[in-house]
């Protein structure tokens, strides 16, 4: 049986510090080298990214690498627009997405393609690994791994995040690509929901893994989660049924967000209304911590990380909740990327 052709799309902007690891990982893939191509979409980088990719493409040819590496330059427009352009330029029957700061494992393409042996499956979601040593990054990785255990319980899922995602070209075109107004922290979620709602089955490939650089400090992590909460709330406005339940978000996280919000509300009330409300704030916070303990027991890692896990999850819930509160007052349709409305891929 002939294996499908694959186009790997990697959007990048100013990626000289991370992209080489991503591209070197493509050279060691176990999938037949002559059955996939790699397209790097340079989103108007201001450093030497484009020149670096051009040099690497020439080096691949000189080394006799059978996989073709291509560079496409485009005006700045965001990661969604870059990915749409990559699909337009590619020729693969299947499109694989990853990010410039990701380093796929050697059997990444092979594992992502296995579920597509079932002709009814239209998209595949992979997962994260990390090599980082910081406590925040390790806790973030532990939280992802906990999510994967939850995702793996579902036969079909409704997420395919672009750090590791495969989509049949026909399904991608049918869904009309990424909404280019949505930034990189939610455009893949919106497309995933659109694929699922349109009846394109998505499955989870637990071995379709890439190494990633998670936020390494509390400040960076909080900023990222605020952005996630904001944009995902805007996506939920389009797909309100997913707010009640999806295949990625455990109900405990929603409870934690609610409890942390109540703790903040009661704390403020304690200052302006009655000091007795502080007891309710303390109770809400205590219950929140209680909901984090199963995660702390499940996670792999040293004792100090397990002890830090409740703090980590409370901070996560607060950041997402704050972002979600802000998102309640926004609409995707009000945003433009690169000074223009969204352009999507059409057949």
Q: Which domains does the chain have, with CATH numbers?
A: 6-216 (3.90.550.10)
Q: For the chain, what percent of residues have pLDDT higher than 90?
A: 86
Q: Measure Cα distances from 196 to 121, 124, 190, 289 in Å.
A: 11, 12, 10, 34
pLDDT tens digits for range 291-340:
999 999 999 889 999 999 999 999 999 999 999 999 998 877 655 544 33
> Which pLDDT score is estimated for 343?
41
225 in Cβ contact with 317 (< 8 Å): no
CA atoms within 13 A on the CB side of 223: 7
Measured between alpha carbons, how far is 169 from 159 in angstroms, rounded to an integer?
Answer: 17
> Which pLDDT score is estimated for 344?
38
Strands 102-104 and 68-74: unpaired
CA atoms within 13 A on the CB side of 161: 22
pLDDT tens digits for range 203-257:
999 999 999 999 999 999 999 999 999 999 999 999 999 998 899 999 999 999 9
- In the predicted model, is pLDDT for residue 173 greater than 90? yes
pLDDT tens digits for range 75-100:
888 899 999 999 999 999 999 999 99
> Which pLDDT score is estimated for 346?
33
Question: What pTM was estimated for this model as a whole?
Answer: 0.90
pLDDT tens digits for range 132-146:
999 999 999 999 999
Which tokens hold the place of 68?
């073709």
> Which pLDDT score is estimated for 334?
54
Measured between alpha carbons, how far is 156 from 133 in angstroms, rounded to an integer?
Answer: 33
> Which pLDDT score is estimated for 310?
97
Give the contacts of 124 (CB within 8 A, at least 6 positions apart): 112, 113, 115, 116, 160, 165, 166, 167, 202, 203, 204, 205, 208
pLDDT tens digits for range 107-156:
999 999 999 999 999 999 999 999 999 999 999 999 999 999 999 999 99
129 in Cβ contact with 105 (< 8 Å): yes
> Which pLDDT score is estimated for 336?
52
pLDDT band at 185 (very low <50, low <70, confident <90, very high): confident
């Amino acid at each position: 049986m002939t294996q499908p052709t694959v186009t790997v799309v990697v959007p990048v902007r100013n990626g000289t510090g991370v992209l080489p690891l991503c591209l070197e990982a493509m050279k060691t893939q176990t999938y037949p080298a002559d059955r996939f191509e790699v397209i790097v979409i340079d989103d108007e980088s201001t450093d030497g990214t484009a020149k670096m990719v051009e040099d690497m493409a020439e080096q691949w040819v000189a080394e006799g690498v059978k996989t073709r590496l291509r560079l496409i330059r485009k005006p700045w427009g965001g990661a969604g627009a870059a990915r749409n352009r990559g699909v337009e330029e590619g020729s693969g029957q299947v499109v694989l997405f990853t990010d410039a700061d990701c380093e796929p494992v050697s059997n990444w393409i092979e594992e992502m393609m296995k579920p597509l042996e079932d002709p009814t499956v239209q998209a595949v979601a992979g997962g994260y690994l990390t090599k980082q040593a910081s406590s925040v990054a390790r806790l973030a990785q532990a939280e992802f791994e906990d999510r994967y255990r939850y995702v793996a319980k579902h036969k079909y899922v409704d997420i395919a995040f672009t750090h590791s995602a495969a989509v049949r070209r026909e399904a991608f075109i049918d869904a009309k690509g990424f909404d280019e107004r949505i930034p990189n922290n939610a455009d893949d979620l919106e497309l995933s929901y659109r694929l699922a709602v349109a009846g394109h089955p998505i499955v989870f490939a637990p071995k379709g893994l890439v190494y990633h650089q998670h936020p390494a400090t509390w400040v960076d992590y909080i900023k990222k989660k605020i952005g996630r909460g904001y944009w995902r709330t805007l996506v939920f406005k389009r797909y309100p049924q997913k707010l009640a339940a999806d295949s990625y978000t455990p109900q405990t996280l929603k409870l934690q967000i609610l409890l942390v919000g109540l703790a903040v509300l009661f704390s403020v009330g304690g200052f302006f209304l009655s000091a007795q409300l502080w007891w309710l704030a303390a109770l809400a916070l205590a219950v929140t911590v209680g909901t984090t303990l199963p995660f702390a027991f499940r996670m792999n890692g040293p004792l100090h990380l397990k002890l830090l896990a409740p703090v980590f999850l409370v901070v996560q819930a607060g950041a997402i909740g704050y972002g979600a509160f802000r998102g309640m007052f926004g609409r995707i349709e009000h945003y433009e990327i690169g000074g223009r409305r969204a352009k999507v891929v059409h057949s």
